[in-house]
Every structure is written in structure tokens, then in C-alpha cells.
Amino acid sequence: MATKKERNGLIFEKKTLVNSKTFHTPTMMLTYSFRDNNPRPWLKIPNCSVMTNAYDILQNGRLEKRVRDKGIHKELELKNEICVMDSGGFQFISRGEEEDIDPLRIIDLQNASKTDIAVGLDYPILQDFSPEKVNELTKKSLENIKLSTKYIRNGIEVMPVLHGTTQEEIKKYFVKVKKISDFKIWGIGGLVPQMKQSSTSHTRYFNIIDRVLEARKQLNSINEELLLHVFGVGSPLAGLLFLLAGADSIESISWIMNAKYFLVYQDKIGARKVSKQTTMCTTSVKWNEYNCSCPICSNEDLEEIERKMKLGGNEGFKNRAMHNAYVYQQILVEAKEAISEHRLTDFCKEKLGNHRFFKGILRYALEKVEKYD
Ligand SMILES: [Zn+2]
């Protein structure tokens, strides 16, 4: 008889009370940025959760006012979906603006927006930073978690973000954050800058899996029910591996980014280009293996789907983004089902076992999960 760990890795279904709502996990959050043309998949796809960004909102005075006046849920037309508001530390820092942000301004916006979860303002550590700068930013991030704990109100949950490039650093960071308060949901950051690099090597993923496992281990030392969110997983197929390693929530903006670059997501395969208009060196959609029942593709023949996906301008962009969001959610729906049937490991083997890039990482994740104690 296989053990629980052998069948489902380190994840199990959880129902967590967040801002008087039930947050069902595992979940794939769709990162949303406020651009006029970005579609809102949650209007058509059930069970989405959404990640917004304070930096984004603060760039636009009129938007900020609306979010403050009516709240983020009304602004986005969310019904029961869980909404997270990230601070935008990554955006501030990548534009060299970290000196300009007032953490209290972010907190004030998070309170006014009545978001369900507010991420503490944190400063991601980029690889070219000196040890002095790393120390200084770490200190500031921890101070900001304290500020959030003190000033975030209205039943909003504070999510602290763990930073560190190694397991040891994650553990040290955790010990410091644990002293600040009891948190229900914890983030693990620092993944996006690495994912952005042009070559996504196996070792980079191995390192992320190690850090997710370490974070899970630390959280479990308090309570197994605590939620772990992984920022910026890139692709939902990669996300499955983080679920195995104990993440409850994963998130990506790639559903939009891919759409911009004329890439559509294919289950078990990944992002594929539909048109020569993209400069990305990706191979083309495998139309012979194409099978999708999203609001854009369902009940259409392949020729019509191809036409819709290749369209330029807003219409094509929206088609691809909606399709991508649906495929991302669908992979999670299936993963959830697999978890409830105690076969997530088999499910991951089915999805990734023949994938030319992810199969090696799957093997690594399974070995690590097996050794986890
Ligand atoms: Zn589709």
C-alpha cells in the first residue's frame, strides 16, 4: 500500500477562512494587471482566484480612487473569488524606485480596497546585489511585515513573503518572521527574477523545489493547515511540481504575457506559438493534439480556432489570454480531483512524464518528496 506522501506528495485539500470567506486550495491564482484590454477570465471561468498589485494601482490616480471608493472586488467584478493584493516591491525595485515607496501608503490602499489577503511590502533580492544591500533590504522587508501586522485591518489576512536563495536562508528568514505574528498564509518569493532569465535550466527548478520543500517543512512545524503560496511559477505544469512539494497556491501572469507574444498554452505541452508574428523561439502549436473546451475554443472546428488565435490586435490577444487562463485553471481542476482521489503523483507522471523539459524535474521532485520527513 502506497503511503499518503507517495500518492499525493506533500499537499492536501484545505478550506481556510480568509476575510469571512472560504479559501479552497490548491488554487492557481491569475495575476491581473490593470490594462484596458486585459480580459477578466473570472467572469466566465469558475473558481478563479486573483492576484492584484498595489504598484500597478498606484500608477493610475483614477483607478486608485475607484479601488478605494468601491473596493477591489467591485472594481474587478469579483463575486466569491479570493483576491490578493501584492505590494509591488518587485516592480518598485526593478525600476530603482525602492527609496520612494512609503509602506504605509501601500497598507492604506490595501485596507481601503478591502482585499482578502494583503502581501507585506517586500524587496526581492536580485542576484547582482551586494551583501550589504541584501542585508539592508532584508531588514526593511521584516520591518514592513511588522507594519502590516500592526496596521492591516478589516479582517484582511497579512501574507508575509519568505526570501532566500538557499534552504538555509529560507529557514533563517522563517524563524525571523515567525516571531512577528501568527500568519495563516505564507508566501515564498524570489522565483520570478530567476524564471525571467532566458535559459530555464533544470538546476534552477531543483533549487526552487528545495526551497518550497523547506518552507513547507517549517510551516508544518507550526501547523500542517498553514497555507503556502508560491509567487511567479511561470507555467502551470511547473506549478504541479510545487504542489507536490507542498505549495497550496501558485500564481502566474504568463497567461497574459504568453497571449501578448502569440503563444497559446497546450496541456501536457506548454506554451506554443500560433503565428510567426512572435519573436519567441518556441515551436508551433501541435494542432493534431489540440483539444480545448474553453469559452473561445469550445464547439469550434480547428480551422476556426486557429483563425481566432492568430488574430492580431485586441481581439486575438483577448482570445489567447482567455484560452490560456482556462487551460491553467483546468490543469488545477484536474489536479484537485487527483488529490481527492489520492493520485496526484500519478497525475503528475501522466502530465509531465513525457515532457522533454519537465520530466527530469518531476523525477527530482518525487525523489525529494520521498526523502522528506
Ligand atoms: Zn481554448
Cis peptide before 26 (omega within 30 of 0): yes
**Ligand 1 centre from 42 Cα, in Å?**
15
Look up the pTM and report it. Answer: 0.94
Residue 331 Cα to ligand 1 midpoint, Å, equals 13
Tell me the CA–centroid distance for residue 323 and ligand 1, in Å.
4
Number of residues written out for the chain:
373
Quick check: is 46 in a domain? yes
d(CA 209, CA 364): 9
Ligand 1 centroid to Cα of residue 40, in Å, is 15
Separation of 346 CA from ligand 1 center, angstroms? 25
CA 329 / ligand 1 centre spacing (Å): 11
Quote the domain boundaries for residue 231.
4-259+355-371
pLDDT in 10s for each residue of the chain, 373 residues: 678 888 999 999 999 999 999 999 999 999 999 988 899 999 999 889 999 999 999 999 999 999 999 999 999 999 989 999 999 887 777 777 777 788 999 999 999 999 999 999 988 777 778 889 888 989 999 999 999 999 999 999 999 999 888 899 999 999 999 999 999 999 997 565 544 554 468 888 899 999 999 999 999 999 999 999 999 888 899 999 999 999 999 999 999 999 999 999 998 888 899 877 666 667 888 888 899 999 999 999 999 999 999 999 999 999 999 999 999 999 999 999 999 999 999 999 999 999 988 999 999 999 999 999 8
Give residue 243 CA to ligand 1 midpoint distance, Å.
Answer: 24
Q: Show the 3-state SS of the chain.
A: CCCHHHHHCCCCCEEEEECCEEEEECEEEEECCCCCCCCCHHHCCCCCEEEEEHHHHHCCHHHHHHHHHHCHHHHHCCCCCCEEEECCHHHHHHCCCHHHCCHHHHHHHHHHHCCCEEECCCCCCCCCCCHHHHHHHHHHHHHHHHHHHHHCCCCCEEECEECCCCHHHHHHHHHHHHCCCCCCEEEECCCHHHHCCCCCCHHHHHHHHHHHHHHHHHHHHHCCCCEEEECCCCCHHHHHHHHHCCCCEEEECHHHHHHHCCEEEECCCEEEECCCCCCCCCCECCHHHCCCCCCCCCCCCHHHHHHHHHCCHHHHHHHHHHHHHHHHHHHHHHHHHHHHCCCHHHHHHHHHCCCCCHHHHHHHHHHHHHHCC
Angle at 305 between CA 286 and CA 315, to 5 degrees: 120
CA of 285 to the centre of ligand 1 (A): 12
Ligand 1 geometric centre to CA of 264 (Å): 8
Ligand 1 centroid from CA 334, angstroms: 16
Q: What's the 51 CA to ligand 1 centre distance in angstroms?
A: 22
CATH number at 33 reads 3.20.20.105
Residue 248 lies in a domain: yes
**297 Cα to the center of ligand 1, angstroms:** 4
Rounded to the nearest angstrom, the distance between the alpha carbon of 75 and the centre of ligand 1 is 26
How many CB atoms sit inside 10 A of residue 176's CB?
15
Question: Is 103 inside any structural domain?
Answer: yes
CA 293 / ligand 1 centre spacing (Å): 6
How many angstroms does the Cα of residue 307 sit away from the middle of ligand 1?
12
Q: Which residue has the cell 527548478?
A: 205
Distance 271 CA to ligand 1 centre (A): 12
Q: Distance from the CA of 265 to the center of ligand 1, in angstroms?
A: 8
The verdict on residue 333 lying in a domain is no
pLDDT of 234 reads: 82
For residue 337, report the distance from its CA to the centre of ligand 1, in Å.
Answer: 21
35 CA to centre of ligand 1 in angstroms: 22
Any domain includes 227: yes
Report how far residue 49's alpha carbon sits from residue 29's, in angstroms, rounded to the nearest whole number. 5
290 domain residue, yes or no = no
Q: How far is the CA of 255 from the centre of ligand 1 (A)?
A: 12
How many structural domains does the chain have?
A: 1
Burial track 4-43 (b if 16+ CB lie within 10 A, e otherwise): eeebbbbbbebebebbeeebebbbbbbbbbbeeebbbbbe
- Measure 178 CA to ligand 1 centroid, in angstroms: 43
* Position 109 in a domain: yes
Angle between helices 131-151 and 167-178 (to 10 degrees): 30
For residue 269, how far is its CA from the centre of ligand 1 (angstroms)? 14
CA of 308 to the centre of ligand 1 (A): 10
pLDDT given at position 195: 47
What's the pLDDT at 62?
Answer: 96
User: Residues with beta carbon < 5 A to ion ligand 1?
Assistant: 292, 294, 296-297, 323
How far is the C-alpha of 316 from the C-alpha of 262, rounded, in Å?
Answer: 8
Distance (Å, whole) CA 89 – CA 124: 7
Does any domain span residue 189? yes
How many angstroms does the Cα of residue 148 sit away from the middle of ligand 1? 40
d(CA 325, CA 231): 17
User: How remote is the CA of residue 272 from the centroid of ligand 1, in Å?
Assistant: 13
